[in-house]
């Protein structure tokens, strides 16, 4: 039974990969939003530059429901730079927190570069991040958060601070 489900998933992935759903980014019409099977879900996160692999992964993993849900509920997360930034924050949270307190550092610079931020705007973005993170850290609930909660809050702070100066 599981083998049959896998085969059906692979066939569906192949069909989707050869269909108009799998367009290059520049071929998408303005305002058309992300392609859920290529840009979103687990496949979009794992294979941001290989469309057929993203489609295959999404279909095999959960028949594409996570991809469709993320495209519908939070299309802004269907962006390879956003996913890469979030993963970088999670992987480097302690360094980023320390460098944010200092107001500079290699990890902060790398994160802003991943996001496609204009180098001239780094200092103002970091200043905004510092301000918001100071407020977050001073909240009583902050100490009770796990790494994912802290990294998620940091990601929200960064994306808000970088809204007008970065391409991610």
Smallest Cα–Cα separation from 96: which of 140, 147, 62? 147
User: Which residues have C-beta within 8 Å of that of residue 47, sequence separation ≥ 6?
Assistant: 53, 54, 57
Taking a C-beta distance cutoff of 8 angstroms, is the pair 44, 66 a contact?
A: no
pLDDT of residue 80: 64
Q: Please indicate, yes or no, whether the overall pTM of this predicted structure exceeds 0.85.
A: no
Residue ranges of the chain whose pLDDT lies below 70:
1-37, 42, 61-77, 79-80, 83, 168
Q: Is 161 helix (H, G, I), strand (E, B) or coil?
A: helix
**HSE (CB half, 13 Å, CA atoms) of 40?**
23
End-to-end CA distance of the chain: 42
Q: Would you list the domain boundaries of the chain? A: 2-76, 80-161
Instruction: Note the pLDDT tens digit of each residue in 7-44.
Output: 445 444 444 443 343 333 334 444 456 666 677 776 77
Three-state secondary structure along 40-70?
A: CHHHHHHCCCCHHHHHHHHHHHHCCHHHHHH
pLDDT of residue 40: 76
pLDDT of residue 124: 94
pLDDT of residue 64: 67
Q: Is 138 helix (H, G, I), strand (E, B) or coil?
A: coil
pLDDT of residue 147: 85
pLDDT of residue 77: 62
């Amino acid at each position: 039974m599981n083998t049959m489900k896998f085969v059906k998933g692979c066939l569906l992935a192949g069909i989707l990969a050869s269909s108009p759903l799998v367009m290059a980014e520049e071929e998408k019409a303005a305002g058309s939003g992300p392609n859920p099977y290529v840009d979103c879900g687990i496949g979009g996160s794992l294979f941001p530059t290989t469309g057929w692999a993203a489609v295959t992964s999404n279909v095999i993993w959960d028949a594409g429901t996570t991809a469709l849900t993320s495209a519908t509920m939070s299309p802004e997360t269907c962006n390879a730079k956003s996913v890469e930034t979030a993963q970088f924050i999670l992987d480097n949270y302690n360094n980023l927190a320390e460098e944010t307190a200092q107001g500079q550092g290699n990890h902060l610079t790398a994160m802003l570069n991943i996001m496609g931020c204009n180098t001239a705007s780094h200092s103002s973005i970091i200043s905004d991040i510092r301000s918001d993170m100071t407020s977050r850290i001073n909240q009583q609930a902050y100490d009770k958060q796990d790494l994912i909660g802290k990294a998620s809050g940091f990601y929200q702070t960064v994306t808000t601070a970088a809204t007008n100066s970065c391409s991610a």
